[in-house]
Amino acid sequence: MTELHWLTASEASRAFAAKTLSPVELVQHLLKRTESLDPKLHAYIRLDAEGALDAARTAEKEIAQGRIRGPLHGVPVGVKDIFDVATLPTTCHSQVLVDNIAKTDAVSIQKLRQAGAVIMGKLSTHEFAIGGPSFDLPFPPARNPWNPDYHPGGSSSGSGSGVCAGLFPVALGSDTGGSIRNPASACGIVGHKPTYGLVSRRGVFPLSFTLDHVGPLTRTVADAAIMLDALAGHDPEDPGSSATQSRHFGRMLDRGVRDLRIGFVRHFHETDMPAHPEVTAGLEDVSRVLQAEGAEVRTVHLPHLDEFRGINRVILSSEAWSIHAPWLREQPGNYGKLARQRLLPGAFMSAGEYIGAQRRRLELIAAVEDVLRDVDVLLCASSMDPSCRLDDVPETNRTYPRQARAPFNVTGHPALAMMAGLSSGGLPVSVQFVGRYFDDATVLRVAAAYERATPWHKKHPPIG
């Protein structure tokens, strides 16, 4: 049998149903593993051991009574510490909110509890999902299980690190400029940013109202689909929520790619922002694999990567400043240095610049939509480089912006990042798949076909 800490949500669910494993046994095992590994990784800000065991006992009783709520029943979930979990602090990894106790659950937490999931605790992030990795905050930054001297991506850093290390099979993250897909890329797992508006953000501390997304980090594509099934749904109290009927996101996972057209956005990593050679080689291998599986892969062109990134920066900076301005004026010293540096430019953005960015955004959306009329899914880079050392500030500052994730926060299309190989240094390289609005199921279908055809999802970090 697979070691308990490497069980996927799907495998754990089947074991619970077969009575070969109980939710309590799995949670107890993961708590022991966390006790052993988390002092090296710092994935957690707040481990809720008693709450998790209580929820696991409840799930176990319900299973014994034949009351199984679905494939997440009894499954442990880690939660990025910008989501409200009732009675636990929502600190956003910041001194500003270090004593902020949540009174109610975020909508996404409510939905996971309704599905029978077990909330394990609150996970490290960059400060307010923007300032990191930082060492001047109340909690240390999370580290990469493939090599704890290296960063795990961000801002959903604890989510990526914990899933990768086998501290929990699935986790919740948020994504404003790539913050689900960056940890997935750095840690070699699956990170899915759903279509904008598909998952409620109510009860999640905002960074940018029109760019923020909520989504899962998992070890397999099937688990990403299971998580999205639980999370998706219209929330009339979230102004960005869409009244869509999209459901059953895993329905096409086994269909393969034989009838699909894949648009390869090569210029992102070849000319717009030349990638590390091992990333380029990995992307070409993804293309070859999908063609061998029967897909048609053709080169397509979008606007220059810098255009998307510039628009993302103006909108994010302006909206983040509108959220943080009072605290930055009243208690700037309670912010870490990086968060201050990244939030303050919003004070100097004019209304004209913000409106101009939103107008150009519509043109960029139209350009992506035009390409997606001729292809089913886009293939492109996620990160342009493997992870670097956590303490190498110049290299971190150089490589963090070298990515092709921000375009799809600007446009709101569904996007998924996953492992596409290991570098010569033993660190993951990645690929990104992007689909049409509310066609997350096809993005997951392509990712699942690639996953089946390659060994990467079976690789685990050498951490124990």
DSSP state letters, 308-334? HHHHHHHHHHHHHHHHHHHHHHH-GGG
pLDDT score for 244: 87
Assess if residue 339 is contained within a domain: no
**286: phi then psi, degrees, rounded to nearest 5:** -60, -45
- Domain presence at residue 119: yes
Query: What pLDDT sits at residue 113?
Result: 98
In sequence order, which residues have a C-beta less than 8 Å from that of residue 66 and are 6 or more positions away?
none
| Confidence at residue 362, expressed as pLDDT on a 0 to 100 scale | 98
Cis status, amide bond into 394, omega within 30 of 0: no
Cis peptide before 10 (omega within 30 of 0): no
Active site residues: 80, 155, 179
Partners of 76 in the β-ladder: 118
Instruction: Count structural domains, the chain.
Output: 1
Q: Hey, CA dihedral for 331, 240, 119, 173, is it positive or negative? A: negative
Q: Is residue 268 one of the residues assigned to a domain?
A: yes
Residues of the chain with pLDDT under 50: none
Residue 312 in domain = no
174 domain-assigned: yes
318 occurs within a structural domain? no
The CATH number given to whatever domain includes residue 201 is: 3.90.1300.10
Give me the pLDDT at residue 246, please. Answer: 80
**Residue 288 resides in a domain:** yes
Cβ 217 vs Cβ 43: under 8 Å: no
pLDDT of res. 56: 98
- Domain boundaries, position 147: 4-306+355-458
Say if 63 falls within a structural domain. Answer: yes
State whether residue 424 is helix, strand or coil: coil
* Pairing status of strand 428-435 against strand 415-422: antiparallel
DSSP 8-state symbol, 251: T
Residue at 214: amino acid letter: V
d(Cα 447, Cα 429) in Å, to the nearest integer? 15
* DSSP element (H, E) containing 95: none
